[in-house]
Amino acid sequence: MATSYKPFISNCFIQRRLSHLSQKSPHFNLPHFPTFKQPLKKILPGLPLPIDVQKTMTDAAAKLLEAFVDSFFEFVDQPLLPSQSNFAPVEELGEAILVTSIQGSIPDDFPEGVYIRNGPNPVFGGLKSTNSIFGRSSHIWVEGEGMLHAIYFKRSSQGSWKVLYNNKHVETDTYKIEKQLSKPSFLPAIEGDSLAILSAYLLNWLRFGKVNKYISNTNVFEHSGKFYSVAENHIPQEIDIFTLKTVRNWNVNGAWDRPFTSHPKKAPGTGELVTLGVAPTKPFAVAGIISADGEKLVQKVDLQLNRCTLCHEIGVTKRYIVIMDFPLTIDLNRLLRGGRIGILPRYGDANSIKWFEVEPNCTFHIINSFEDGHEAMRGCSSLDSLIPGPNLSLKEYEGLSRCHEWRLNMHSGEVKEKDICGGNVVYMDFPVINGNFIGMRNRYAYTQVVDPIASSNQGAPKYGGLAKLYFEESCKGDKEKAEEAVRVECHMFEKNTFCSGAAFVPIEGGLEEDDGWIIAFVHNEDTNISEVHIIDAKKFSGEVVTKITMPRRVPYGFHGAFMQISFQAQEHNSVYHQQTP
């Protein structure tokens, strides 16, 4: 019997009418796009200058600009509270080191591979502010240069495990500029006094041809056997997964010249990679489909939006692309007037998008999208990215995200929404699922649980535990009443211990969707010790299966992923043959 389709989305969601996007949100990756230095003859039209004269004048102008910045802008370190110590950056290791402190055992059926997490790690000692004749402006945490933290799981021929750890900055174009100058150079251009921000924008553009740095600090993904670091203000950087060295910018053989979503998705059935790029000028949003081999851009569609909007993630189903179009700005006086979700046929054009008006919200992360009759999808959202201050009532914590569901009827245009957890409020974000179920109906999702009190004065949330959502069971464990609030199982950490970068690791050849483990970086702020925890997804609230003590502190960060890799191709690399002392 033929079935019809409704897009079905679930997200961590808060229902409030007024909102702004906090500049201190941990996921405030609103794109800051590059402009370009103008040739001198374009600035002075009609002036016939020889090339060598142009170069001399351009060099002289650049030196004058640098002298101006050096004279009138003072870079100062931003202080950190004791409770913010694990937001502080760390140094690069230089090469992978052996990890020897392992409590418990790595499961026999755990796959070989790498657990890798991205996150901000500002160079030159930490985040900076500038004081100048124009006022003060400051970098925010999400502007820190991306650093990859990787744990390698390699099995010996005897079946024993060898675990190694490495970290390394992602060497974007702007990272290379500042490293070459050996000093902080990009003026903060997001937070601060209006005149200071305006002057920072202008001076950065004149000096570097770019308003803000390319941070590449948000996510890591794989496509066609290659690995990429990304943040949505620039194209991705290809990474050597074994050394963490930056290989190149990835522009799909010159076909993609725009920013790239932090959460591209592999389309079920075809293995194509679906992406989205948003910009402050027309075209404001462009969807793209990259071939399964990563060599060709097979589809590029201007969505014909009439304004720029923050689209941090994109969804896919077997036949559709899901566009989250929510009009968020950094204007603190602007009201959040509403939002809409677009359902685009996989290879359709802008005229084929069906738009659905939804309740106002701020949605960064989609849990999953799939076709369920006429309907689709789930995600993680809140109305704003505010971190509540101390001594607030529970009601006032509703600025934090929790799980939400949209049912969008492709035939009637009807929209149905609900909080998945109902009155059982669990604030959560950074959802992950078994990657084999992306774009298809799934039974489980895993999220990081927000600790509202610990997060209240950090400028970024802290996650004091993990949650498993059972979409086909009610909170009473009744599968017949799954339309009610779904069952949520929590795995909470000890006091003052928080996680980041949680990922699902499936058992190879597993028979059930939750056959596998959750892996996460965990940091205890009392002991200042970082660990990697491996948790059995089927015994979620039980004891940790494996605790791996990190040889170095690992700062809090954003998204993590587990990639199955073969070490055979790297047998020549001696770092993977280190013997345990």
Binding-site residue numbers for Fe cation are 263, 312, 365, 559
DSSP 413-476: --EEEEETTTTS---EEEEE--GGGTTS--SEEEEEEE-HHHHTTTSS--EEEEEEEEEEEETT
Helix (H) or strand (E) holding 154: strand 146-155
CB of 550 within 8 A of CB of 99?
yes
3-state SS track over 255-310: CCCCCCCCECEECCCCCCEEEEEECCCCCCEEEEEECCCCCCEEEEEECCCCCCCC
Q: Which amino acid is at 394?
A: L
CB of 286 within 8 A of CB of 302?
yes
* Spatial separation of the C-alpha atoms in residues 305 and 323, rounded to whole Å: 11
CB of 344 within 8 A of CB of 323?
yes
The token pair that represents 22 in the structure block: 């906090």
The residue length of the chain stands at 581
3-state SS track over 484-499: CCEEEEEEECCCCEEE
Sign of CA dihedral 78, 83, 84, 87: positive
Q: Which amino acid is at 577?
A: H
The token pair that represents 517 in the structure block: 């483990």
* Spatial separation of the C-alpha atoms in residues 343 and 318, rounded to whole Å: 12
Helix (H) or strand (E) holding 340: strand 339-345
Which residues have a Cβ under 8 Å from the Cβ of 348 and sit 6 or more positions away? Answer: 301
CA distances from 161 to 113, 190, 479, 577 (A): 11, 45, 40, 12
* Spatial separation of the C-alpha atoms in residues 45 and 34, rounded to whole Å: 23
Q: Which residue has the tokens 């970098």?
A: 139
Helix (H) or strand (E) holding 6: strand 6-12
Annotated binding site: 263, 312, 365, 559
Q: How far is CA 255 from the centre of its chain?
A: 23
